[in-house]
Structure formats: structure tokens, C-alpha cells
């Protein structure tokens, strides 16, 4: 009986390893991988330490929503670079397909010359590591996922979109700014916040700090000013006037 139980436990462990992958979560180290991309081989996250990374996936090449997102990301690439952030795309396909797609995008009337790397993930190895394969959606295509990864390789935000919904690039940029503001100024950002709006001070964590609170606002809901100039002087970007 003991031998039988040992065998069953072994089978369960094997199935767990092969079928169930623990998805990366906010606050965890981004899963490591080595891959070829349209800009050459990379070792992730080692090659990107010191920069923020926007890692985003697509269901497949040559699809209309994906194409529109590639163009939109490329048109904002300089804005991301000013924020010390690098774009890194992924689609379940081979380099040859990615290159043909990039070439086709460059020839569209409203197209763009795609400069950010796109990962060769024909075997879905990276997509599975990052939980980008959702069986209910497809067993062979990545969902539209976005991972915001900080300069130390820690995952700071995760977004998932269905295949039919294109992403809002301005919102991804706003989210990146908000995370950097939180890090630099030790504040939080309220709903619908944009650079230049009021930010939220941390709530008191001790009785002593609570008693020191003064002002007209509630102790747990206190705003303060943080100018756009102050923000972008600290996170390496000058005032752009963009919201």
C-alpha cells in the first residue's frame, strides 16, 4: 500500500510540474528566460536590469488589433524611453513570421518602423512561464498581457485584455509614471490621476502619527500637491504637457 501511495504521489507531482505552472504575481521576481528576438538574442531580465520594462504579448502575427497596437506602441516609444522604460513584445510565432509582419507594418499607410524587439516564442515557453496562455481563449495563442517590470526585475503591475480589445497605450504610460511617482515621492495616486493632479499621502500607521495629523481632511484620506515639474525632474522626464 505504501508503495502504491508513493507511486500516486509521484504521478501527482509529475502532473503538477507539467500541467500547472505557478503564474508570476505582483511583487515577485520576473521569470527568467533566454530567447531570440527580432533585435537579437536576449537574457531576461539580466539584460534589462536598470531599466523599467513593458513586456506585452499578442495572440498572433498579422492580426488587425495586434497591428494597431504595434503601431501605437512604436509611436510612443520615445515617451517610454524618457521614462527609462523599454518595450518588449511577444507573439507565439517564429522570427521569420515576426520579421515579415514588421515589414508589412512599415508599408501600411499609417504604419511605423517597429524598433522594439519581438520575442520568438514558437514553442510558447515564455508565454507559459508568464501565464499568457489561457486555455479557455486558446491553447496556442497568447492573450493580450502586459507586465510592468521595474529596474530590479520585480513585477509591479499586470494587465490582461481579451483578443478583441486593443490596449490603451496612454494608460500604460500613465501607470508607469504612477509607479515611479510612488517610488520617488512615497505617495499613492488616486483614481483617474494624471501628472500634476493631487496625490495621496500615506495614512498614519501609529497612534502617535494619527495624533499629529492636522488639517481639514480625514486622517485616512489626505491629499497633497505634487507638480508636474517636480515629478518629471525626479523621474527623468521634462514636462511634456501630455495627460
CA–CA distance, 51 with 235 (Å, rounded to integer): 12
CA–CA distance, 87 with 80 (Å, rounded to integer): 8
Is residue 157 within 8 A of residue 25, CB to CB? The reply is no
CA–CA distance, 57 with 121 (Å, rounded to integer): 10
Helix (H, G, I), strand (E, B) or coil at 225: coil
Q: Which of 55, 66, 105, 176 is catalytic?
A: 66
* 66 is an active site residue: yes
Is residue 28 within 8 A of residue 45, CB to CB? The reply is no
By annotation, the residues acting in catalysis are: 66
Amino acid at each position: 500500500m505504501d508503495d502504491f501511495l508513493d507511486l500516486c504521489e509521484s504521478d501527482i507531482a509529475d502532473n503538477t510540474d507539467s500541467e500547472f505552472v505557478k503564474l508570476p504575481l505582483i511583487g515577485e521576481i520576473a521569470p527568467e528566460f533566454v530567447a531570440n528576438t527580432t533585435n537579437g538574442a536576449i537574457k531576461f531580465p539580466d539584460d534589462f536590469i536598470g531599466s523599467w520594462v513593458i513586456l506585452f504579448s499578442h495572440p498572433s502575427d498579422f492580426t488587425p488589433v495586434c497591428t494597431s497596437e504595434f503601431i501605437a506602441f512604436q509611436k510612443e516609444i520615445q515617451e517610454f524611453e524618457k521614462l527609462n522604460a523599454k518595450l518588449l513584445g511577444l507573439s507565439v510565432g517564429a522570427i521569420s513570421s515576426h520579421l515579415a509582419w514588421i515589414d508589412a507594418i512599415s508599408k501600411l499607410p499609417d504604419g511605423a518602423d517597429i524598433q522594439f524587439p519581438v520575442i520568438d516564442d514558437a514553442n510558447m515557453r515564455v508565454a507559459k512561464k508568464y501565464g499568457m496562455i489561457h486555455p479557455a481563449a486558446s491553447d496556442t495563442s497568447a492573450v493580450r498581457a502586459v507586465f510592468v517590470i521595474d529596474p530590479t526585475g520585480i513585477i509591479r503591475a499586470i494587465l490582461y485584455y481579451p483578443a478583441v480589445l486593443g490596449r490603451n497605450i496612454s494608460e500604460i504610460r500613465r501607470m508607469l509614471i504612477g509607479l515611479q511617482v510612488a517610488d520617488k515621492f512615497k505617495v499613492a495616486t488616486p483614481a483617474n490621476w494624471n501628472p500634476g493632479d493631487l496625490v495621496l499621502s500615506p495614512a498614519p500607521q501609529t497612534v502617535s502619527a494619527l495624533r499629529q495629523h492636522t488639517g481639514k481632511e480625514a486622517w485616512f484620506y489626505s491629499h497633497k500637491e505634487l507638480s508636474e515639474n517636480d515629478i518629471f525632474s525626479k523621474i527623468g522626464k521634462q514636462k511634456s504637457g501630455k495627460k
